[in-house]
Structure 1
Amino acid sequence: MYIRRVSRKNKNRSATAYLQLAHNEWDPVAKHARAKVIYSFGREDEIDRSVLERLVQSIARYLTPEAALQAQNAIGETAEFLFRSSKRLGGAWLLHQLWQKIGLDAILEKLFKDRKYQSSIERLIFAMVANRALNPSSKLAMEDWVKDEVYIPGLSEVGSQQLYRAMDELLEVQSELEHQIYCAVSDLLNLEVDLLYFDTTSSYFEVDPFDVPEDDDLRKQGFSKDKRPDLVQVVIGLAVTRQGIPIRSWVWPGNTSDMSVVDQVKRDLVGWKLGRVISVMDRGFTSEENLRTLQRAGGHYIAGEKMRSGKETTDAAMSRKGRYHHVRENLQVKDIVVGDGEARKRYVLVHNPKEAERDRLRRKELIERLEAELEGLKPLSNQAHTKAACRLRTHPTYGKYLRQLKDGTLKLDKQAIRDAEKYDGKYLIRTSDDTLSAEDVALGYKQLVDVEDAFRTLKTTLELRPMYHRLENRIRAHILLCWLALLLVRIIEEETGETWTALRKELDRIHLGHFSSNNGDVYQSTKLTPKQRKTFDTLGIEAPPKFLKIQPKA
């Protein structure tokens, strides 16, 4: 379809031109196309140009910004552009697209449909989540971040007080929000939720405990997993899937023990159509009293055991003969039961051949260094020799491979070296759940690494701390925002196989440029590299268009 111009000669030999809207139709008899007039605009010199302008504007609504600009360029209506500014686009665009793919925008809009605010609460919450994932900062600093540094779809400016009010609103719908997000994410990613892993961490506040009000029931001193028992803290819990996706978070007072929260975790997940919730614990937490407390609360556990603990049952498990079963590459397991009746304990001994080789090489290098140290003792005088020998004997790493003769001479302890070889590439796991396969037990304990990685991401990449909030509700809302950011980040990492730190660096190279001319403003994104485009394709989300927005001058 096109605008057709036809001319007709008059008797006085002048010509009159007419404009018509036409399109070509194939004439099967004549074997060529013929123009068919759909509408006649009349004489060219008498036409009302506003009619054509309205038609062009109407058609332009169905063109992409890029196509509209190309059309203007074809008729010579574009002008020289002046570069105005640039904002980072890639990271925020990817998070926004994933946010929409999961349906978080629709969930929040539905939960807040009765709230009337100048800015969309959903957009404010997304901006805070994106800030945690891309460039963690205070709410006050976010004012300049949104205005000058990053393009947040649907939000050009924001005030810190708006963000604080949005945090308050978010906390009010937390329970329903978490459940709806779980349903949306599990359906989208087809998550395996027959088995969930649960663990806790702590996060401290850099404030003197004496400055914390007595009626503050959340910020308390307790067992610090950050090794800061001198500061007040909160305890944070995460439930993650086999794939390492965090589906629920909790916040408790800083003096809460891990054992006391198991019952609440189980109650909170009732109705979520989940399978078993297994507490996964490292070797530093597996005292017999702790494990008994956990089982009394109705929970099951997968816990690491110290192979050199000296406990009778542990020694029996380590010495039990039998073949390993190959379950995955570099993963072999041996199922072991020690004792009978109430004294019965189930262990799984795991062997990683690749890790065993690394252990062997590390110990070989250590022994070579130790031999050099022993050789260096020989030329030393009495006092210097004694001092250096004491230093070696008490060294936390070297000392266990040394023995001292009656005359005080230090020698390599060949038996200690042979004993150490027995533990290469191995770790011992204990579980209370007999229905789990040995493979699930091994992979479940390995999942502890993913949970700890999630906590590490919370504390470092997403900068959970320092927390400047004092009010309990704001602290809880802050952690909820960090969980939402962690959810997006872990989905991206799981789907792409890349770390968020590396992806974020690559995505930050995608910018949105603002150009202006006499005809209006154009917002154009930088050309994507193959690596950037692959990230969007892998996640199944739309990449930024070349022209994000074109605003003709009024």
Structure 2
Amino acid sequence: MNTMAFLRQDKKANGTYLRIVQSYRSEDGKSRHRTLFNLGKVEDYSADALKKIGQTLYELGGGSLEELQSKQLHEICRYYYGFPLVVKKLLHSYAFDTFFDRITNHKDLEYNLMESVTLLICERLHDPVSKLSNYINQNDYFGIEHIELHQIYRTLDHLHSNQERIKQLIYHKGRNLFNQTLDLVFYDVTTFYFDSDKEDGFREKGFGKDGKIGNTIVTFGLLIDQNKQPVGYEVYRGRQYEGHTFSDAVARLKDKYQIGKIICVADTGMMNADNLLEVQDADYEYIFGERLKNLSKKIQDEILDISKYEILKVADITSNEEIEIKYYVSPYKGKKLISTYSAKRAAKDKAEREEKIRKAQIFIENPQSLGKKAKTYYLKKESKDIFSLDLEKIKRSERFDGFTSIATNNQELSVKQILEAYKQLYKIEQSFRSFKTFLETRPMYHWTENRILGHLALCYISFTVLNYLQLQLKKQGTPQSENEIRKNLTKMQMSLISQNEQQYYLRSKIETGAKEIMKVLSIRELPDLIPQQSINQYI
């Protein structure tokens, strides 16, 4: 009677069980099975333990461990699977999958727009490079359909033509995702430069905020809420004065979204009569930085009298601990001025002035290098190429060390609430750093206005989903920085391996940070080893 033993897996509702089963023929000639040994649940064993069981069974069958290990096993290729998996989930949160699929079908595109946008955002989050490099790098990602180079550029055209719908989708979905009303809106502008000096009426030469001289730039105005969630953005020609962008942005905001009462928060660069009028006409309130040096002498003398100041405890923006500040409230031209004094800020103002004076001394010796910056460095012109220190201007500047002022037309918020709202302006600076440093929005290598605006729309979507992920991780109690997210997603890799003419996907170890990301987005972990024919069940 011939018998044969083999390993059997029995899948049940509570797990997979392993048994060593013997096959034999009964006296009447029928094939039968009997259990020789129950090994228990697969889930109760570590990967190493299962490997040892397999090796032992192989040796008991007459094979040698050396023979087993000599079986050809090699890696065919390796992929990043975390970026596509996470980006698609984030885009789904904002219904972008449905949005882009509709455009694909309506325009009868020969490629999938959602897949192309996913690739471009994966590259923004992973390693921002040119669109040509995006095309070359796409084979590094698993789970994205192949996109041709010309289709990548056409994707930017579709992002441009749908940019207003994209802004509205992000605004409305953002409100629903966070279940919040919009009460505070922060506004500021920055510039993005091009690797070119060619002007075309949109790209213009100007002094960019990156300090680049000679490059063409465009001006970018961004609106965010207190969670850094985007509210909207506008793009202006390069030499557009930043103070003139605010009234346009507010008018567009009211026209597009029919937003009710909100408070607009902006720094001193936005404080002018036109902007105040636009905000008030929109029935919005404002908290603006006030240029103390531009106020009348009477109000200046009043504000600079430190004996009038009271003490207030507010939250520090870096440590979130309560700190004491000195403040003074005074009415001025129908608005409320809140002035503050800080010894720490006074020391900073003094140090910055002394550095400018140090540079001024150098310019006095070498005036050819000064250009048109004399006033910036407390210099006055004595004759054509002779400058001297403007001692009166230095003395006037010293009076304001440590003082700042904020103007508001809000009559309901407390001084503490107004100051803490204004301090949140740092979040928009963080947003610009995300655009410029992490997502590397600039320098831009596109030359047509449509492609430029399409590129900025792509970066806006990337910023939106990245910020959403960070907010969800923070809410979960597992906050991660942008670079930590990039590092964790980069480690989510899998290899296509071949052994004995069979192919499998072997994933890398899932680190804690990656597990936190997958948990917050409800993404299930992949098994350690997946047969090639089964991979579509998981990705």
Q: How high is the TM-score relative to the length of structure 1?
A: 0.68
RMSD: 4.6
- For residues 491-535 of structure 1, the C-alpha deviation after alignment (integer angstroms, 9 at most, x for no partner) is 233343432023313432332222122343222221122243234
Does structure 2 retain, via aligned residues, the 8 Å contact 1:94–1:543? Answer: no
Please tell me whether residue 9 in structure 1 is matched to residue 27 in structure 2. yes
Counterpart residue number, 2:107: 115
The Cα shift of 1:345 comes to 3.3
Supply the AA of the counterpart residue of 1:504: R
- For residues 93-140 of structure 1, the C-alpha deviation after alignment (integer angstroms, 9 at most, x for no partner) is 333332233432233223433233343111101211221222111111
- Matches of 2:182 and 2:506 in 1, distance apart? 42
Supply the AA of the counterpart residue of 1:16: K
The structure-2 alpha-carbon separation of the partners of 1:273 and 1:475, relative to structure 1 and needing over 3 Å to count, comes to: same
Structure 1: unaligned runs, 5 residues or longer: 21-65, 374-386, 388-395, 400-415
Counterpart residue number, 1:326: 313
Counterpart residue number, 2:178: 189
Does structure 1 retain, via aligned residues, the 8 Å contact 2:309–2:328? Answer: no
Supply the AA of the counterpart residue of 2:268: R
Counterpart residue number, 2:232: 248
The Cα shift of 1:252 comes to 2.1
Aligned match for 2:95, one of 97, 100, 103? 103
Please tell me whether residue 452 in structure 1 is matched to residue 429 in structure 2. yes
Aligned match for 2:247, one of 254, 262, 272? 262
The Cα shift of 1:484 comes to 0.7
Counterpart residue number, 1:428: 405
The Cα shift of 1:477 comes to 0.4
Counterpart residue number, 1:380: none
The Cα shift of 1:203 comes to 1.7
Counterpart residue number, 1:168: 157
The structure-2 alpha-carbon separation of the partners of 1:344 and 1:185, relative to structure 1 and needing over 3 Å to count, comes to: closer
Counterpart residue number, 2:453: 476
- For residues 354-375 of structure 1, the C-alpha deviation after alignment (integer angstroms, 9 at most, x for no partner) is xx568769989x99x9xxx9xx
SS for the counterpart of 2:182 is coil
Counterpart residue number, 1:218: 202
Structure 2: unaligned runs, 5 residues or longer: 1-9, 12-20, 35-46, 59-67, 316-321, 359-364, 366-374, 379-394, 535-539
Does structure 1 retain, via aligned residues, the 8 Å contact 2:250–2:278? Answer: no
The Cα shift of 1:151 comes to 1.7
Does structure 1 retain, via aligned residues, the 8 Å contact 2:188–2:267? Answer: no
Does structure 2 retain, via aligned residues, the 8 Å contact 1:346–1:430? Answer: yes
The structure-2 alpha-carbon separation of the partners of 1:141 and 1:534, relative to structure 1 and needing over 3 Å to count, comes to: same
Supply the AA of the counterpart residue of 1:319: D
Does structure 2 retain, via aligned residues, the 8 Å contact 1:201–1:235? Answer: yes
The structure-2 alpha-carbon separation of the partners of 1:161 and 1:532, relative to structure 1 and needing over 3 Å to count, comes to: same
Counterpart residue number, 1:203: 192
Supply the AA of the counterpart residue of 1:460: T
Does structure 1 retain, via aligned residues, the 8 Å contact 2:74–2:497? Answer: yes
The Cα shift of 1:483 comes to 0.6
- Matches of 2:279 and 2:453 in 1, distance apart? 26
SS for the counterpart of 1:247 is strand
Larger radius of gyration: 1
Does structure 2 retain, via aligned residues, the 8 Å contact 1:233–1:254? Answer: yes
Please tell me whether residue 533 in structure 1 is matched to residue 479 in structure 2. no
Does structure 2 retain, via aligned residues, the 8 Å contact 1:196–1:275? Answer: no
The Cα shift of 1:478 comes to 0.4
Q: Number of aligned residue pairs: give it.
A: 455
- Matches of 1:499 and 1:436 in 2, distance apart? 32
Q: How high is the TM-score relative to the length of structure 2?
A: 0.69
- Which segment is superposed worse, 523-532 or 450-459? 523-532
Does structure 1 retain, via aligned residues, the 8 Å contact 2:170–2:230? Answer: no
- Matches of 2:239 and 2:163 in 1, distance apart? 23
- Matches of 2:440 and 2:221 in 1, distance apart? 17
Supply the AA of the counterpart residue of 2:122: A
Please tell me whether residue 504 in structure 1 is matched to residue 486 in structure 2. yes
- For residues 32-79 of structure 1, the C-alpha deviation after alignment (integer angstroms, 9 at most, x for no partner) is xxxxxxxxxxxxxxxxxxxxxxxxxxxxxxxxxx9xx99xx8999997
- Matches of 1:453 and 1:225 in 2, distance apart? 14
Supply the AA of the counterpart residue of 2:457: L
SS for the counterpart of 2:454 is helix
Give the alignment of 1:71-86 within 5 angstroms: 81-86=73-78
The structure-2 alpha-carbon separation of the partners of 1:289 and 1:317, relative to structure 1 and needing over 3 Å to count, comes to: farther
